[in-house]
Amino acid sequence: MFIWSNKFETKLDLVDTQHKNLFDLLNKLCVNIKNGIKSEGELDSAIRLLIHYTKTHLHDEELLMQDSRIDNRFFTRHRMEHNSFLYDVDRFSEFSSSDDGSTDKADKIVRFIAFWLIFHILGTDLAMAEQIACIKSGMTPQQAFETVKEQKLDSVTVKMMLDAVMNLWMDSKNAHANLEKKYKGLEIKCKNLQEKCTDLESKIQTVLVETIDYESDFRPFDLYK
Amino acid sequence: MFSWSDKFLTNIDILDIEHKNLFNLLATLTTKLQLRKIDDEDIESSISILVHYSKNHLHHEELIMREYHIDYRHFSKHIMEHSSFRYDIDRFKNNASSYDRRIIGQLEQIIRFITHWFTFHILSTDLVMAEQLALIKSGKDPREAYDNIKDNKTDPENFNLMLDSVINLWFDARDDCKRLEESLTKNIDNII
Ligand SMILES: [Fe+2]
Ligand SMILES: [Fe+2]
Ligand SMILES: [Fe+2]
């Protein structure tokens, strides 16, 4: 379960509502995965909905930043984080192996989205919210950027981020180990295939040689002599 | 890239010396790599020295924990972290994604991994062990020593350092995955 805490609050209504909704979606999926309530198809569409909702949220955040004319250095970095996340999410559907089973797949992507969100809200969205607040109170975007840059995170927040990133690290390590297994399996298959090919080639060769021998014995043109 | 500081001191001489030596070795190799003053043979031996030295160190640490009968709750967790390091470092050597890569890339990867892993591990785990060992040496019961440090008084700055190294470990693992996925796709395309 991913527990909401006021540490996540950005004090921006739209953003907080969307973040909370995302937590709800993630937790519901968690329960369904654990209890095995949903069929494969239902699980798939729930995941698709989750991804769709996440994408919309990230886009809304970007619009909000543009509206409040946030410093471009921050905007670029923030959007890059979003894009790298979306890239990772897309790869999930492409590379999660089919023999994993759909609940396993769903579990992996739910964990990834949840831990990424925790990490990203605490590390980046909060900095965005503070800059927007500074700008609203009359600072220039540059001043807001410099002010927030100086601020340090409290250790509770850092610990929460640490926990999330540790999970992200573990999961990617596991994903890597699985891919390696797949890779090695593929290599073995490849080798077997190649061996079969050479085998077949040599068989064809012998057959050809035999045919030629036969033909040379037969000398059909002798008949016309 | 990384500088040693008193934050890493465990105040157990042999462990501090080994930690420092390891970081010095990493720094020397990094400079060599930057100056390109290293050939393939050098790289091969550097990798095995690094792997050997770090594994040996973990072993020494485990012996010391046993010697002082550190509380099992800490010991088992600590050992598990060490084992996961051993497992990861061995995987670098027969990593499928590095089949087609230069050996110099392998050394770079291993240096990054050991640096970030040890930074994280010393701050998060070795220091907690050191505190307990100090208490045990001063006459406390191991179990009491463990319960004593449960509400840890870690320097907040240390959490930032830990977070930084785990982020790096995560990013590197993610890049590894990407590379492997790419070569997987390429190979599948080749076969078809
Ligand atoms: Fe967000
Ligand atoms: Fe964001
Ligand atoms: Fe250790």
The ipTM (two decimal places) reads 0.88
Q: Which carries the bigger pLDDT value, residue B106 or residue B127?
A: B127
B87 class by beta-carbon count within 10 Å (0-12 exposed, 13-18 middle, 19+ buried): exposed
A168: left (phi over 0), alpha (psi -120 to 50) or beta: alpha
Residue B128 has pLDDT above 90, yes or no: yes
Residue A31 has pLDDT above 80, yes or no: yes
Token representation of residue A220: 């059909």
Q: Which carries the bigger pLDDT value, residue B38 or residue B173?
A: B173
Q: Which amino acid is residue A75, in one-letter code?
A: F
pLDDT of residue A167: 96
For chain A, give the percent of residues with pLDDT over 90: 56
A162 lies within 8 A of chain B by CB: yes
Residue A100 has pLDDT above 80, yes or no: no
Give alpha helix (H) positions in chain B. Answer: 13-34, 40-67, 72-93, 103-121, 127-137, 142-148, 156-191
A9: left (phi over 0), alpha (psi -120 to 50) or beta: beta
Query: Which residues in chain B are contacts of A91 at CB distance < 8 A?
Result: 178, 181
- A49-53, B127-131, B176-180: the lowest-pLDDT one: B176-180
pLDDT of residue B149: 83
CA dihedral B23, B29, B33, B36 (to 10 degrees): 150
Q: Which carries the bigger pLDDT value, residue A127 or residue B91?
A: A127
B150 — pLDDT class (breaks 50, 70, 90): low
Q: A44 to chain B nearest CA, in Å?
A: 22
Most trustworthy range by pLDDT among A158-162, A187-191, B35-39? A158-162
B55 — pLDDT class (breaks 50, 70, 90): very high
CA distance B140 to A162: 31
Give alpha helix (H) positions in chain A. Answer: 13-35, 40-67, 72-95, 102-120, 126-136, 141-150, 155-218
Q: Which of A95, A154, A158 sits opposite B163 (nearest CB)?
A: A158
Instruction: Give residue-wise pLDDT tens across range A71-83.
Output: 999 999 999 999 9
pLDDT of residue A221: 59
Residue A115 has pLDDT above 60, yes or no: yes
B173 and A184 within 8 Å at the Cβ level: the answer is no
pLDDT of residue A41: 82
Across chain A, what does the average pLDDT equal?
89
- A91-95, A134-138, B81-85, B129-133: the lowest-pLDDT one: A91-95
pLDDT of residue B151: 58
What residue in B sits closest to A155 (Cα-Cα)?
B156
What residues does the ion ligand 3 have nearby, CB within 5 Å? B 61, 126
Q: Which amino acid is residue B66, in one-letter code?
A: R
A208 — pLDDT class (breaks 50, 70, 90): confident
Q: B144 to chain A nearest CA, in Å?
A: 25
Across chain B, what does the average pLDDT equal?
88
pLDDT of residue B77: 96
Q: Does pTM top 0.90 for this prediction? A: no
Token representation of residue B157: 């700055």
How much is the average pLDDT of A119-134? Answer: 96
Residue A185 has pLDDT above 90, yes or no: no
- A110-114, A137-141, B44-48: the lowest-pLDDT one: B44-48
- A67-71, B14-18, B48-52, B100-104: the lowest-pLDDT one: B100-104
A98 lies within 8 A of chain B by CB: no
- The tally of CA atoms less than 13 A away on the side-chain side of residue A118 is 25
What residue in B sits closest to A123 (Cα-Cα)?
B163
CA distance B161 to B118: 11
Residue A222 has pLDDT above 60, yes or no: no
Residue A97 has pLDDT above 80, yes or no: no
For chain B, give the percent of residues with pLDDT over 90: 60
pLDDT of residue A218: 60
Residue A58 has pLDDT above 70, yes or no: yes
Residue B100 has pLDDT above 60, yes or no: no
pLDDT of residue B4: 79
